[in-house]
Amino acid sequence: MTYKIVASQCTGCSACEPECPNQAISEKNGTFIIDPVKCTECIGFFDEPQCVAVCPVDDTCVIDGAYPRYSA
Amino acid sequence: MEGQVVSLASIPTPNNGKNLEEIMQQKAEHQGCGTQGGSGKASCGSGAGQGDLAPEIWEKVKNHPCYSEEAHHHYARMHVAVAPACNIQCNYCNRKYDCANESRPGVVSEKLTPEQAAKKVLAVASTIPQMTVLGIAGPGDPLANPEKTFRTFELISQTAPDIKLCLSTNGLALPDHVDTIAKYNVDHVTITINMVDADIGAEIYPWIYYKNRRYKGREAAQILTDRQLQGLEMLTERGILCKVNSVMIPGINDDHLVEVNRAVKSRGAFLHNIMPLISAPEHGTVFGLNGQRGPSAQELKALQDRCEGEMNMMRHCRQCRADAVGLLGEDRSAEFTTEAVMAMDVQYDMESRKAYQALVEQEREATAAAKRAELENLAGEYSDVKILIAVATKGSGRVNEHFGHASEFQIYEASSEGAKFVGHRRVDLYCQGGFGDEEALETVVIRAINDCTAVFVAKIGGCPKSALEAAGIDAVDRYAFEYIEQSVIAYYREYLDMIRNGDLVHNQRGDAQIRQGAYTAA
């Protein structure tokens, strides 16, 4: 699985972008998106997903159920 | 350009002014640098020799509208919104809310890249020659966006080296960036410190993001306060001027801010700015939604007065947007949208800026001379009577605004010590309605200046004048276009005479409301 950003919630603040250890986050039309191919849920890097930890709006960076769980 | 250099009367600004010597002297006396034992003020605190508010410090602040009350009548500042990311969450902030009509920290209309910001600074500096200061204040935290922030400073220091650079931070990342701040000659830093006690902090900050982890509650607040105070010490050790901002949250940190004041003073902060909480429910902040109120005007003033014995207090803060442009109290950001700026053909002419600023200095001198002369008339008077006077002004230190056009009033305290600026009150809903809007007059203006004995205006209509009289506020237009402080002292002298002659009984006025919500001045 991977994380995704709920576009309607995203303020476009960019806090998540530099924190992602996989460079999976980029800007698109004023808000940010996560590349599901690159996202590792921060497993192997940090105890908690960095985008979730830094995002100022609750429930904006969430698990994307469309993808299988990541395994290292 | 030349047209702008010619006439000072056209400066769309507020003012006041004492000459430098007088200011220096006043600071020395007032602060008791080195002479009043233990309670010397912060700027005299450290061991760097006596009279730390020495010429070099004054030199740094004298044209900085956010660091010098006097300067804010004459000089403008701008913020560029290059730093959207933040690393902490505050209960008085909601990053999802954004509105062009709001005048609050954390609010912007558009984000800028460092390159766009640099162009904007040149455009504004060319249009507003008294713009002397560039700040980065968010809308997030500048130090949570270090590349963008420092790139912006780098570009501006290359293209407009006469502009002072400053930044405003929550302090969490500050210790990591002090050397870079010094490297770019950022000589003014503001740190927002709302507590030095983690239990209180836990009620203000739900979480922080630090070293790749989200911390919550007391643990978060402890890390934050440690980092803030460490950062403050590191800056003052390097001779970088620090102002501390605190948000006054009644019932949570109001009494505690006296302790914060002591803590920051002892670490070398130069100025303390206690601001009222803004917590309208429509802003969607935690405090807005849970009904946490902000302080009244008199509660705020009482706390500022309590702390003033310890160090210099700032009372002219307008809690401006992270993309504000212009004098404090006015906002010209709408003239400088990215689209407009990119289309401008900017010629940065440092010489004409200097010439214009020289005229501003003359105006400052004149204001100071007028005040000194009037103070001599007050010499020998001693009275316990203190009154507040609201003033409608649009700049240059004069009573030069029509009552009905005022979007704010500046508040002066008159006593036998003289005239002292103690704050300002926004009344922008009234001006939106134009003259004669009875309801707005009642609900907005009178509530905002209800603690004042008089209001000085350049002009006022019959209706509002009677409404003010009915509320016990003397509407005074006889000082139209005169210098504010001189007029305040003259009025006070007459006021004392009337008491003495039995023509008047001095009454203590009530409290006043600090207005919140949208900034709607045209």
pLDDT in tens, B75-99: 888 899 899 999 999 999 887 765 5
At A19, the pLDDT band (50, 70, 90 cuts) reads very high
DSSP assignment of B278-312 = ---GGG--HHHHTTPPPPPHHHHHHHHHHHHTTS-
B322's CB contacts (< 8 A; 6+ apart) are B79, B81, B83, B105, B106, B107, B108, B137, B138, B139
Tell me, letter by letter, the H, E, C secondary structure of B262-278.
HHHHHCCCCEEEEEECC
Q: Under an 8 A CB cutoff, do A54 and B87 touch?
A: yes
Q: How many helices (H) and strands (E) does chain A have?
A: 1, 4
Please compute the mean of the pLDDT values over residues B27-46 and round it to a whole number: 31
- Which residues span the domain enclosing A30? 2-64
Predicted local confidence at residue A59, as pLDDT: 93
Q: Is residue B14 predicted with pLDDT exceeding 50?
A: no
Into how many domains does chain A fold? 1
Residue B84 contacts residue B141 (beta carbons within 8 Å): no
Q: Compute the mean pLDDT over every residue in chain B, rounded to the nearest whole number.
A: 81
- Site from A13, A19, A52 to mutate, B interface, most B CB atoms within 10 angstroms: A13
- Copy the structure tokens of residue B501: 């002659």
Q: Is residue A71 part of a domain?
A: no
Q: For B104, what's the count of Cα atoms within 13 Å in the CB-facing half-sphere? A: 25
Beta bridge partners of B476: B456
Q: Is residue B196 predicted with pLDDT exceeding 50?
A: yes
Residues of A in contact with B145 (CB under 8 A): 14
Predicted local confidence at residue B167, as pLDDT: 94
Compare CB distances from B95 to A47, A52, A57 and report the shortest one's residue. A57
Residues of B in contact with A61 (CB under 8 A): none
Q: Which superfamily does B363-500 belong to? A: Dinitrogenase iron-molybdenum cofactor biosynthesis domain (3.30.420.130)
- Copy the structure tokens of residue B335: 């003239």
The model's pTM: 0.82
Distance from CA of A11 to the nearest CA of B (A): 6
Q: At residue B475, what are phi and psi to the nearest 5 degrees?
A: -90, 120
Minimal Cα distance from A50: which residue of B? B212
Query: Smallest Cα–Cα separation from B477: which of B461, B458, B464, B490?
Result: B458
Exposure pattern of B409-435 as b/e (b: 16+ CB <10 Å)? bbbbbbbbebbebbbbbbbbbbbeeee
Predicted local confidence at residue B286, as pLDDT: 92
Distance from CA of A65 to the nearest CA of B (A): 24
Domain ranges for chain B:
32-343, 363-500
Distance from CA of B285 to the nearest CA of A (A): 11
Tens of pLDDT along B437-453?
566 676 678 888 999 99
- Copy the structure tokens of residue B470: 């009915």
Predicted local confidence at residue B442, as pLDDT: 67
Looking at domain B32-343, its CATH class is alpha beta
At B129, the pLDDT band (50, 70, 90 cuts) reads confident
Strand residue runs (E) in B399-497: 408-415, 418-426, 454-456, 474-476
Q: Are strands B131-136 and B418-426 parallel, antiparallel or unpaired?
A: unpaired
Residue B459 contacts residue B481 (beta carbons within 8 Å): no
Q: Are strands B454-456 and B474-476 parallel, antiparallel or unpaired?
A: parallel
DSSP assignment of B163-201 = SEEEEEE-STTHHHHHHHHHHTT--EEEEE---SSHHHH
Please compute the mean of the pLDDT values over residues A36-49 and round it to a whole number: 93
Distance CA B21, CA B255 (A): 36
Order of strands across the sheet that contains B88-89: B88-89, B207-210, B213-216
Q: Is residue B311 predicted with pLDDT exceeding 70?
A: yes
Which stretch of A23-32, B138-147, B340-349, B426-435 has the lowest confidence by average pLDDT?
B426-435
Please compute the mean of the pLDDT values over residues B19-43 and round it to a whole number: 33
Which stretch of B37-46, B113-122, B448-457 has the lowest confidence by average pLDDT?
B37-46
Tens of pLDDT along B397-423?
899 999 988 888 999 999 988 898 888
Q: At residue B430, what are phi and psi to the nearest 5 degrees?
A: -65, -45
Helix, strand and coil percent figures for chain A, each rounded to 5: 10, 20, 65
CATH number for the domain that contains residue A40? 3.30.70.20
Distance CA B515, CA B510 (A): 16
Residue B192 contacts residue B171 (beta carbons within 8 Å): yes
Predicted local confidence at residue B520, as pLDDT: 39
CA B199 to chain centre: 29
Please compute the mean of the pLDDT values over residues B328-349 and round it to a whole number: 82
Q: For B340, what's the count of Cα atoms within 13 Å in the CB-facing half-sphere? A: 13
Distance CA B427, CA B444 (A): 6
Residues of B in contact with A14 (CB under 8 A): 84-85, 145
Residue B308 contacts residue B423 (beta carbons within 8 Å): no
* Dmax (CA) of chain A: 31
Predicted local confidence at residue B46, as pLDDT: 27
Residues of B in contact with A52 (CB under 8 A): 214
Report which of residues B459 and B438 the model is more confident about.
B459
Please compute the mean of the pLDDT values over residues B253-259 and round it to a whole number: 96
Predicted local confidence at residue B37, as pLDDT: 31
Predicted local confidence at residue B64, as pLDDT: 81
